[in-house]
Chains A and B, each alone.
Chain A
Amino acid sequence: MKLSTARRHIIEGSRNIIRNSWMTVASVGAVTTTLILVGIFLALILNLNQVAENIEQDVQMSVYVELGAGEEEVEELESNLNELSNVRSIEYSSKEEELNKLIEDMGESGDEWGMMFEDSNPLNDVFIIKASDANYYKSLSNQVKEMDYVDDVDYSQATVERLLTFNKYARYIGLGFITALLFTAIFLISNTIRMTIIARQNEIGIMKLVGAKNSFIRWPFFIEGMLMGVIGSIIPIALVLAGYYYLYDNVDGRNLLPFVELLPFNPFAWQLSLLLLGLGVFIGIWGSVMSVRKFLKV
């Protein structure tokens, strides 16, 4: 396309936007609303994913061996555990090692405790199992509980499961919402473009008769849609950048919740902004394509 032609299309497209001011405001508003919600949902979902992933990394299952079990029994249990599937690793930690760990964790007061329990260690021998995926802990735990010489099985079940479920539903609800909003925005844009096409039917007819190419006639409408998408993404991007900056500063910096580690502002907030801009352009172009296809008979 020639530069002068491109310039003309952009001018025409912008003029249409101004000419249809009220319709434009409605369409841009719809894009803005949609993108703000998309931004919030994506920030939420992606961060939840991150948190869940972090926790998943740390999740492990402790299998406490019965207190009275001797060396042979422990070995038998170990070989049984080795036959489980969906297991990434099994580690054995004797009650002495467990005690040492505990003492270390306690720091200052640890030594006193150590003295106290030196002769009568109340702890169990432990197998520490990591599953190949967090989803397997439940079934693994059920299987292991049935085995001989197992006193108890423990894993941070509640947190992980709740987080995974929440994340799953948040994702579904978010996607549902976003899809509905996307279609509303696309519909509003296509309606605005339709008004432009109707208002300019006469001119379009003459353009055709004097030999304008179809693409030449269509381009200003694509530009119009695209511009509405771009304008609609300005406020959401500003909100995402400012909001995430604030959030990151307050939540992550202060380490209020130790396991919550937000995705870093740079690059995450920038990537999200770029995505919103892209989505705005996509909504705009799709809206105009719909109208141009339907109402612009060239």
Chain B
Amino acid sequence: MTSMIKMKKVFKVYKNGVTALNGVDVNIEQGDFVYVVGPSGAGKTSFVKMMYREEVPSKGEVYINGVELGTLKKKDVPFLRRDIGVIFQDFKLLQRKSVYENVAFALEVIEENPKKIRRRVMNVLDQVGLKHKARFIPAQLSGGEQQRVAIARAIVNNPKVVIADEPTGNLDPETSWGIMRTFEDINSSGTTVIMATHSKDIVDKMKKRVIAMENGQIVRDEQQGEYGYEA
């Protein structure tokens, strides 16, 4: 097994003085499926932001695929991010662009061959069940549908790692399971999946690795773990 993500004694103190990460050590192997759980404000989002360098640690080291991000040159950050698909907690969709354009955007800005873009985008939209709404703009979609657009954009590039921050938060149970199947699919094809969630049902049924965070620390890390908090 090769290590995909490794953190050594990572601290994050934001400018306003809040300590979001308080000495995090972790190792995630290539092909792992990991749930990150814990109360609101525990540091889950901050934890995953370290991985694609949206935030940099105040102290400690983060390795992605063996590369320490502190040594990464600024011009190489885009290439790190191309290997990591992120579903943001707030989706970050372009409100004036259609569903299709939002997904295609992720391929266009990394200068993918235009001929491939169309086919690839229609494929992922099919995968998340939004093919029929390709021409809608985000404002015309439900919260769950918007989330699926965000998922489609994150996986359209076949990244090595998919990070999902609360991907099922707004979804009805049935759609949630649909999305979980999508994640299982991409995980079984070798993609590492990291998912921060508050969904007890899903975590308990899937029996995957669970990392529990509280006050910026990892308080529990179990293979085939459980959610461990009241729903």
Contact = CB atoms under 8 A, between A and B. Distances in A.
Interface stretch (A164-172, A175-183, A203-211): A203-211
Nearest to A217: B109
Interface residues of A, number: 17
A206 B81 contact: no
A214 B110 CA distance: 11
Identify which of A206, A209, A211 gathers the most chain B CB atoms within 10 Å of its CB: A211
B164 to A, nearest CB: 14
Contacts of B106: 210-211
B52 A203 contact: no
A210 B109 contact: yes
B133 interface: no
A211 B109 contact: yes
Nearest to B93: A206
Interface in A1-39: 2, 4-5, 8
Contacts of A214: 74-75, 78
A210 B110 contact: yes
Contacts of B114: 4
B74 to A, nearest CB: 8
Interface residues of B, number: 23
A2 to B, nearest CB: 6
A209 B92 contact: yes
A216 interface: yes
Nearest to A7: B114
Instruction: Please report whether the interface of chain A is mostly helix, strand, loop or mixed according to DSSP.
Output: helix
A207 B109 CA distance: 7
Given A2-B111, A4-B114, A203-B94, A210 B81 contact: yes
Contacts of B157: 210-211
Contacts of B153: 210
A212 interface: yes
B185 interface: no
Interface string B93-108: 0100000000001101
Interface string B47-79: 000001010000000000000000000110011
Nearest to B86: A209
26 contacts: A2-B111, A4-B111, A4-B114, A205-B92, A206-B92, A206-B105, A207-B109, A208-B78, A209-B86, A209-B88, A209-B92, A210-B109, A210-B110, A210-B153, A210-B157, A211-B78, A211-B79, A211-B80, A211-B109, A211-B157, A212-B109, A213-B78, A214-B74, A214-B75, A214-B78, A216-B111
Interface of B: 52, 54, 74-75, 78-82, 86, 88, 92, 94, 105-106, 108-111, 113-114, 153, 157
